[in-house]
Structure 1
Amino acid sequence: MSMFQIHTETTAPETSKPLLEQTKKNLGMIPNLERVMAESPALLEGYVHLWELFDTTSLSQIERQVVYQTANFENQCEYCVPWHTKLAQIADMAPNEIEALRQGTEMEDPRLESLRQFTKSLILNRGKIAEGELKAFFAVGYSAQQALEVILGIAVKTMSNYTNSIAGTPLDKAVEKLRWKKPIISMQSNTDAV
């Protein structure tokens, strides 16, 4: 049993209640993530506001889903990947691109793949990427502003991915059919090298 409560609009701390109401108004429901976050009104408020701020960036709806889903994949968030699969579908992302994000494989669109690689590298290297990686990101048409906006998207996902990791947040019925486990990606061995 989890040590974290999945709050309702009744059991949540008073300062979390308006945020849960806002979530319900925006999504038509209150996902379990926000119900868990409600235990910490400051975390829930930060999450809700940063999510809204990321929506105002110069990245398109599909590009924002690439950032989110790449973070979800790298952080192995079994709760968030199904939700962002659904959000990517709503954004009309091509099904093959959605599946590439779910599998952690190369996307067909070179610009989106560059965004995926840049986001992945930022996460795996804790922000300390090589200058060549940044130049490659700019070479496909992204700007310095957008590089910084990717960091905002990663911050949003860090809050949700880490919350789900420690709380074991149960997946909502709304996305049950999109359940996900991180695939094992095999690395080619260097046994051919002499």
Structure 2
Amino acid sequence: MPRITPVNAATANPDVAATLGAIKAKVGMIPNLHATFANAPAALKGYLGFSEALTSGVLTAKQREIVSLAVGQANQCQYCLSAHTLIGKGAGLSPDAIRAARQGTGIDAADAAVAALAVRLIETRGQVNDADLAEARSAGLDDAAIIEVVANVALNVLTNFTNNVAATDIDFPVVELTIAN
């Protein structure tokens, strides 16, 4: 049972209802995370804007999902792991790539570097060292990609923490926190 009640689009104020309606039109449903964010319309709009902006960056959709999976695992967010396992499949990640991301690695050097940097950012609260950046660069990440990994980590920390605080009901196929072999 959620600790923060999701907003019902049918009874929401007109601005929030319109935002939730646009989400439903775009993705076919209103995910419980979005309905939970709707308790704070500024947070919902900020999340949506930041998320949308990052889709036009240098990281691929697969790499953004790798960050989401790596960070979701590091922060033990079952909602996000469930959502991003499904979204990651839709973005073209194989089951092996999903498992690797959750383990903080990847199936090729660039994806491994993205996942490792994301996990390292969580572990160090952003206080990565020169060796961490050298490792990312040696795998082909340039400064733009590094900054986008940071931005995607920040976005995922927002969703992970919101779901962990709210105990958001999972409305995706449930993925266990323990990584299957």
Establish whether residue 29 from structure 1 lines up as the match of residue 44 from structure 2. Answer: no
- 2:68–2:84 Cα contact (<8 Å) kept: yes
Equivalent residues of 2:104, 2:112 under 8 A apart: no
| Residue 66 of structure 2: aligned partner | 66
Cα contact 1:13–1:41 (8 A) shared by 2: no
Segments of structure 1 that go 5 or more residues without pairing to the other structure are: 185-194
2: distance between equivalents of 1:2 and 1:86?
22
Give, in angstroms, the shift of residue 146 of structure 1: 1.0
SS, match of residue 101 in structure 1 = helix
After TM superposition, give the deviation of residue 107 of structure 1 in Å.
2.6
Could you tell me which residue of structure 1 aligns to residue 176 of structure 2? Answer: 180
Q: Distance in 1 between matches of 2:67 and 2:27?
A: 20
Q: Distance in 1 between matches of 2:75 and 2:105?
A: 18
Query: Structure 1 stretch 161-170 or stretch 106-115: which is displaced more?
Result: 106-115
The DSSP-based 3-state class of the residue aligned with 1:79 is: helix
Percent identity over the alignment is 27
Matched residue, 2:133: 134
- TM-score of the aligned structures, taking structure 1 as reference length: 0.86
Equivalent residue runs for 1:39-188 within 5 Å: 39-102=39-102, 104=103, 106-172=105-171, 175-176=172-173, 178-183=174-179
Distance 1:152 1:2, change over 3 A: same
SS in 1 for 2:78: coil
Bigger CA radius of gyration: 1
For 1:73 and 1:3, locate their aligned partners in 2 and report how far apart those are by CA, in whole Å: 21
Amino acid at match of 1:46: G
Unaligned runs of 5+ in 2: none
Superposition RMSD on alpha carbons, in Å?
Answer: 1.7
> What is the TM-score normalised by the length of structure 2?
0.92
